[in-house]
Amino acid sequence: MTFQIIYVACCLVLMIWALIADRLKPGLILFTCVVLMLCAGILTPKDCLEGFSNKGMITVALLFLVSEGVRRSGILEQIVFSMLPKKKTSVKKANARLLPVVSLFSAFLNNTPVVVIFAPMVKNWARKFGLPYTKFLIPLSYATILGGVCTLIGTSTNLVVNGMIQDSGREGMGMFELGKVGIVATIVGLAYLIFYSHYLLPEKREGDTEIEKKPDTTTVEVVLRSRFPGLGKSIREFDFFRHYGAHVLSIRRSGELMTGDWMNMKLLNHDTLILETDFKFVQAYKDSTAFLISSYDTDNEMLKGRKRWFAFILLAFMIVGATVGELPFMKAWVPGFKFDMFFFVCVTTVIMAWTGMFNARKYSKYMSWDVLVTIACAFAISKGMTNSGFADYIAGFIIEVADKIGHSEEGVYGMMAILFLITNLFTELITNNAAAALSFPLALSVAEKLECNPMPFFICICMAASAAFCTPIGYQTNLLVQGIGGYKFTDYVKVGLPLNIIFFLVSVFVIPEIWEF
């Protein structure tokens, strides 16, 4: 074992510890890891910067703007509202109508705005008909994750892995290539959520009441993060209105509404606060490092007239264009020019900007810059794992373990299982993009040592990195619905573990049947 391998291993351990401890924003933690590798000569300045010009990273950035334009159209709310039953029904029947539609949307849009829009709507609908909203919100979050594994643009992780594939000199994935296995996992997962999850989910939490809004105000739910300056202080000690221009109406902790003298209780990381504020609050603090905005009133931001449908038409243009652009006749028609997702998302974004689909003067506010920095640094970390020999070293270990399982066919399933478990463990503890960055060079090294097709392993990484069902921190949408639904950590374990097992079995046994080694 060389010095560089030991050095990279130490860097990765420190990075994982910092991500789990939430010491800094993920992007800055990964950037620190990149700088450490740069100082040791494992990465060159060119290696450090290549991720910032990668097509996958730029595509993710532009998709944030496209998602904002579609969100403002209000069409999503209209479609989902029409799908919700107009009279009292069973939880099973309501989820059967709701969850497949949500998965379909999330296959083409950023998951976070989908949940931010739908979660309060579903909660209010459930209240209206006397149904426990706790039976719907975790399945809503999981349905968006399921939809994300069906297309190339369903989640940023898919685009990150695709960018790494292209950087390695190979042909990238098509728009629906992941769907060959993703649709299988989604169908099985939705069946589980519709027919069984409600038995594992809690009833309505005690103490939940409807809060009436005052004129010219709105209510906003926020989840406190580790960088919130008022942690360890009570509401009386920390003047929330002076800092953020909002009044705290209630606090929820680990699924329980704080009662009694809650104004004097110390604020803790991941507490959910319901705030009364004005309509400027969301735009002012949407990218705040102190808290995560989980729900808010979007009526004041909606597009009017024909623009509402035009945004949806542009989304369809982008999806259809990128799909048709991959067909052989298109490649033959214009040799040397790629009508891929990058091309069509660029065109769609420019049209949306010039037609006012989103506020073009404030376009930077709609991008999650930490996610983009995380993705860019992920490419550099992956490169460092390869340059140092760390990836080859771990790949040799994976192959050795797989060989002990049995003959070559069983060994393939064994390697797939090991790679899935490694990636899935990372994604439950840290970010899904960082998990993909750590696992990609391992997959590539395993394939090169075996002299086989690496695509099955790449697909496995995409599936495992998205299978974040067991913890509220594994995926941002899980954290968003925790406060709205008042869920406890154990609720995610009970409902999410079977979904993790479903993804594991589908990945290990279906992927090798579709992609040849």
Percentage of the chain beyond pLDDT 70 is 92
Higher pLDDT, 79 or 214: 79
Domain edge (last residue) among 317, 350, 365: 365
Q: Domain of 228?
A: 218-301
Q: Give mean pLDDT, residues 292-300.
A: 64
How high is the pLDDT of residue 210?
Answer: 53
Amino acid 148 reads G
Are 222 and 276 contained in the same domain? yes
pLDDT in tens, 431-452: 788 888 888 888 888 888 878 8
Q: Is the pLDDT of residue 262 over 90?
A: no
Any domain includes 23:
no
Q: Are 466 and 504 in contact (CB under 8 A)?
A: no
Domain edge (last residue) among 365, 381, 397: 365
Among the residue ranges 9-13, 44-48, 84-88, the one predicted with the least confidence is 84-88
Strand pairing of 247-253 and 256-257? antiparallel
Q: Give mean pLDDT, residues 340-345.
A: 85
The 8-class DSSP code of residue 215 comes to: T
Which tokens in the block code for residue 76?
Answer: 């999503």
Q: Give mean pLDDT, residues 248-257.
A: 77
Q: Is the pLDDT of residue 502 over 90?
A: yes
Any domain includes 64:
no
Are 283 and 322 contained in the same domain? no
Higher pLDDT, 59 or 192: 192
Rounded-to-integer distance, Cα 310 and Cα 69, Å:
10
Are 316 and 296 contained in the same domain? no
Q: List the beta bridge partners of residue 253.
A: 256
Among the residue ranges 104-118, 261-275, 300-314, the one predicted with the least confidence is 300-314
DSSP H or E segment with residue 87 = none
pLDDT in tens, 186-234: 999 999 999 999 898 888 655 565 555 566 677 788 888 777 888 888 8
Amino acid 90 reads S
Are 358 and 316 contained in the same domain? yes
Are 223 and 271 contained in the same domain? yes
Q: Which of 56-60, 191-195, 288-292, 398-402: highest mean pLDDT?
A: 191-195
Q: Give mean pLDDT, residues 70-75.
A: 78
How high is the pLDDT of residue 255?
Answer: 65
Percentage of the chain beyond pLDDT 90 is 18
Amino acid 222 reads V
Any domain includes 279:
yes
How high is the pLDDT of residue 385?
Answer: 86
How high is the pLDDT of residue 417?
Answer: 87
How high is the pLDDT of residue 405?
Answer: 61
**Confidence grade of residue 410 (pLDDT, cut at 50, 70, 90):** low
| Structural domain total, the chain | 2
Domain edge (last residue) among 319, 349, 365: 365
Q: Is the pLDDT of residue 257 over 80?
A: no
How high is the pLDDT of residue 32?
Answer: 93
Q: Report residue 178: phi and psi, to 5°.
A: -65, -25
Closest by CA to 107, choosing from 179, 173, 165, is 179
pLDDT in tens, 6-24: 999 999 889 888 877 767 7
∠ CA 303-372-170 to the nearest 5 degrees? 110
Which tokens in the block code for residue 38?
Answer: 């740069």
Are 331 and 282 contained in the same domain? no
Rounded-to-integer distance, Cα 78 and Cα 313, Å:
15
Any domain includes 150:
no
